[in-house]
Chains A and B, each alone.
Chain A
């Protein structure tokens, strides 16, 4: 009776969990939008990279072994999207670390909400940000002359793989933040983002990569994620590349999500 009067939430109720997740996601997005200058780098960095790659290396499409493309921009677009989504993961990690540093995370832990909602709330926000990131790059590409050979279905495939991958990268960022607990340490993983990208086929065809990058790229999920988004742009929707890309993105979500949950438990033990 007393519980009813105080309106104590039932944390096992799925509807309540969903409401908390959405509330936390809304809060994350609002915080991000309040300071767009900190959100902008998610697309600015990859845009710069895209511009430099295309501007400096556009002649490489004439190299033997390079797949037939209308232009180097078409080829690079998927790489830029992948890079942007990875940076979104870093941003998610930094935001989580700042909440830990600022004490908000501890207040969340002390509140009567499901623990997993803390992780999921931010991941939903990361997914929403991924939609914006994919949209930005598709529009940027179209503006500068790229075409999506796969048409509307191709665009949808790019969105699907992009959103799932974006959520997976966000989970990686969260896992690191929950372990590192410091925004500057999370910020420090930024160069590692480049490493993972460089040993994938995100920026150049796998057959033209130097050894051992070409070997690592074969086992790097990013290669499949980038190629899964690239094929609809430069060629058309292909079932193999789409399924491989989607499978790689789902793999990242499951693996990183599990690590984030374990890291959260570790953090709760420490608290």
Chain B
């Protein structure tokens, strides 16, 4: 157990080191959610004049979307980095190490959880400096947990693809999942404003609950009614996508 924790910690540290060693690849992922938030609020900001927004400023409404985009981008980047390691042969050497494959997977996925805090923190600093109201400490804490959880789930998905395709060219496929997951929700507008088909999709999309869980602290108070479905959804996503990633790793041969 102690050995496994050491391996996980080493893999997490390696992933974090990459941020400093290859900043050219890491910086866009950190900036992207903030760009997304600023961009969407600049483009569609006037939409909040519609009554269903209940006078909530569009930027405030969209900040949680940016946080989840950050988690999604980080998860996808985890898969891209793994694909690069596979291409360069480093991952094959890693598999020769006397460590259980589940431990290796945990290390890779756990690194995504920590890395997701970076774009999220940057986004919040920019948002707060632009006048977005600071949520309560509990609201921020719940948001952080959900962001880290979603990053893990998206990392599991992109790791599955990386193990399947073994090339960085699969990167857009990895990013699509985070786009679909986060945007096909109440990301842009409250449910009453959505077209019927999108309302149905948002209802069945578990990320909608995650988004509402993050958003609650920004547009109102934190309630258990919004929190538990968000936590349950993110746990379910990790369980299902983690199973696929573990299966992919079990079947991986070199």
Contacts and interface: CB of A to CB of B under 8 A. Distances in A.
Interface of A: 35, 37-38, 40-42, 44-45, 48-49, 51-60, 63, 87, 91, 94, 98, 180, 182-185, 187-192, 194-195, 197-199, 203-204, 208-210, 212-213
Interface in B39-88: 39-47, 49-50, 73, 80-81, 84
Nearest to B81: A184
Interface of B: 22, 24-29, 31-32, 35-36, 38-47, 49-50, 73, 80-81, 84, 165, 168-173, 175-176, 179-180, 183-184, 187-189, 193-195, 197-198
Contacts of B189: 56-57, 59
B84 A184 contact: yes
Given A38-B170, A38-B173, A198 B40 contact: yes
23 contacts: A41-B176, A45-B175, A48-B184, A49-B179, A53-B188, A56-B188, A59-B189, A60-B44, A94-B168, A94-B169, A98-B168, A183-B168, A183-B169, A185-B25, A188-B27, A190-B28, A191-B35, A192-B35, A198-B43, A199-B39, A203-B43, A208-B46, A210-B45
Given A98-B169, A187-B168, A52 B36 contact: no
Given A41-B173, A60-B50, A204-B43, 4 more contacts: A184-B168, A188-B28, A210-B45, A212-B42
B46 to A, nearest CB: 5
A252 B80 CA distance: 30
Q: Taking chain A's interface residues, is the majority helix, strand, or loop, or is none over half, making it mixed?
A: helix
* Nearest 4 interchain pairs by C-beta: A198-B39, A41-B172, A55-B198, A191-B32
Q: Taking chain B's interface residues, is the majority helix, strand, or loop, or is none over half, making it mixed?
A: helix
A184 B22 contact: yes
Contacts of A48: 176, 179-180, 183-184
Given A55-B194, A55-B195, A208-B46, A45 B176 contact: yes
A76 to B, nearest CB: 11
B64 to A, nearest CB: 15
B197 A194 contact: no
Contacts of A194: 32, 35-36, 39
Contacts of A35: 169
A32 to B, nearest CB: 10
Contact of A52 (B22, B41, B198): B198
Contacts of A63: 46-47, 49-50
Contacts of A38: 169-170, 172-173
A198 B170 CA distance: 25
B195 A54 contact: yes
Contacts of A44: 172, 176
A197 B170 CA distance: 23
A37 B173 contact: yes
Given A38-B169, A44-B176, A59-B193, A49 B183 contact: yes
A172 B139 CA distance: 42
Among A56, A204, A209, A212, max chain B CB count under 10 A is at A56
A49 B69 CA distance: 14
Contacts of B168: 94, 98, 183-184, 187
A53 B189 CA distance: 10
